[in-house]
Amino acid sequence: MIETIALRKEYSADGRQTTALDGVDLSVAAGEVYGVLGASGAGKSTLLRCVNLLERPTSGTVRVAGEELTALGPADLRAARRRIGMIFQHFNLLSSRTVAGNVALPLEISGTGTRRERSARVAELLEYVGLGDKAEAYPATLSGGQRQRVAIARALADHPRVLLSDEATSALDADTTRSILALLRRLAGELGLTILLITHELDVVREVCDSAAVLAAGRLVESGTVADLLARPDSVLAAQAFAPVAADPAAAYGGRVVRVAFTGQADGQAAVGELARRYELDVRLLAGTVQTIAGQPVGRLDLALDGPADRIDAGLAWLADHGLAVLPDDAWAEVAV
């Protein structure tokens, strides 16, 4: 539904050149909620703004719903943008218009329907986002969560197929964030909307996204379904989800410290017990986490192994054969996301 190919964006300000996007290939399937996770300054907003061409990429191709946006003239581009809704961190509602007036704005811009048809559509949308009683209120009188609901209703007004979300929950508290994320999830399910959202919060990705990518310094360092990424032992996403127990665990605990990853089909605890018996190793459990991701358990165990090196190596190989991944040493380094 959304595809970017070799997307590059360079900014030059006062003679200094910044590469905000450095060859991004992104592919979002129809009906999917896709999250792009990255630290501040990674290029997330630039990427999102390149999708509806608010920002012209320096080079590369953007395709939405099969249409190559980067090849369109101004009038066609405006028409294409009407099929792409967008919501923002700071809501960007017009203070001079009521809630209903804000939601009607995209319809006025596209010249959709008569005044009466537009107000019927607005009422329907406000009902849908749970603000049926706020039509005549001004945005300044609403809470952050209510404003974002208005912004979502506005983004949906023209029946878009795609919704872009730029840190839509970053200005909201935890409870409100959860309710907005639940609403986004509902949009994907009930309206078949494809949602591309960017965030710096792993929890947002974990809570609503089917798939995700990690953006760092203008490059996608990994992408895939959230379940796969979290289950993969070497993924940046997983490294963040399962924070290491100590900066330098080997020095802190002695022996050989390893991190073992396992998913639903493997039984981590049982395997560790078996490892100690079979290879006569002294196994200490330093830390362990099991999280339910996309309905299946995904776990990490941090172990300190003591014993002869060859038996340790054999033991680790045995673990790998039984569906438990042993993380390479460099995966321990905390990955900045």
Partner 1 sequence: MTAELIQATLETLQMVVASTVLSAIVGLPVGVLLVLSARGGLRPAPVLNRILGLIVNLGRSLPFIILMIAVIPFTRLLVGTTIGSAAAIVPLTIGAIPFLARLVESAVSDVDPGLVEAAQAMGARTGQIVGKVLLPESRPALVRALTVTFVTLIGYSAMAGAVGGGGLGDLAIRYGYQLFQTNVMVVTVVLLVVVVQVFQLLGDRIARRLDRR
Ligand X SMILES: Nc1ncnc2c1ncn2[C@@H]1O[C@H](COP(=O)(O)OP(=O)(O)O)[C@@H](O)[C@H]1O
Residues lying near ligand X in the complex (CB under 6 A) are found at 11, 13, 18, 20, 38, 40-46
Does the footprint of partner 1 cover residue 78 (CB under 8 A)?
A: yes
For strands 16-28 and 296-306, give the pairing: unpaired
Does the footprint of Mg ion cover residue 223 (CB under 5 A)?
A: no
92 binds, among partner 1, ligand X, Mg ion, none (CB under 5 to 8 A by kind): partner 1
Cα 82 to Cα 103: distance, rounded to the nearest angstrom: 14
41 binds, among partner 1, Mg ion, ligand X, none (CB under 5 to 8 A by kind): ligand X
Q: Which of 138, 171, 311, 314 binds partner 1 (CB under 8 A)?
A: 138
Shortest distance, CB of residue 208 to partner 1, whole angstroms? 21
Cα 22 to Cα 15: distance, rounded to the nearest angstrom: 19
Shortest distance, CB of residue 91 to partner 1, whole angstroms? 8
The CA–CA distances, whole Å, from 50 to 10, 53, 57, 223, 231 equal: 12, 4, 6, 19, 30
Cα 298 to Cα 212: distance, rounded to the nearest angstrom: 17
73: exposed, middle or buried (Cβ count in 10 Å: 0-12, 13-18, 19+): exposed
Kindly tell me which of 69 and 126 has the beta carbon lying closer to partner 1: 69
Contacts (CB under 8 A) with partner 1, residues 104-133: 105-106, 108-110
97 binds, among Mg ion, ligand X, partner 1, none (CB under 5 to 8 A by kind): partner 1
Q: Which of 45, 148, 169, 211 binds Mg ion (CB under 5 A)?
A: 45
Cα 301 to Cα 283: distance, rounded to the nearest angstrom: 11
DSSP string over 202-230: HHHHHHH-SEEEEEETTEEEEEEEHHHHH
Cα 44 to Cα 60: distance, rounded to the nearest angstrom: 16
Give the other-Cβ count within 10 Å of 316's Cβ: 20
Give the other-Cβ count within 10 Å of 329's Cβ: 10
46 binds, among ligand X, partner 1, Mg ion, none (CB under 5 to 8 A by kind): ligand X
- Tokens 């490059």 label which residue? 219
174 binds, among Mg ion, partner 1, ligand X, none (CB under 5 to 8 A by kind): none
Does the footprint of partner 1 cover residue 52 (CB under 8 A)?
A: yes
Among the listed ranges 77-85, 119-127, 248-256, 282-290, the one in contact with partner 1 (CB under 8 A) is 77-85
Kindly tell me which of 129 and 298 has the beta carbon lying closer to partner 1: 129
The distance from CA 183 to its chain's CA centroid, rounded to whole angstroms, is 15
158 binds, among Mg ion, ligand X, partner 1, none (CB under 5 to 8 A by kind): partner 1
Q: Which residues bind partner 1 (CB under 8 A)?
A: 52, 54, 77-82, 84-86, 88, 90, 92-97, 105-106, 108-110, 138-140, 158, 164
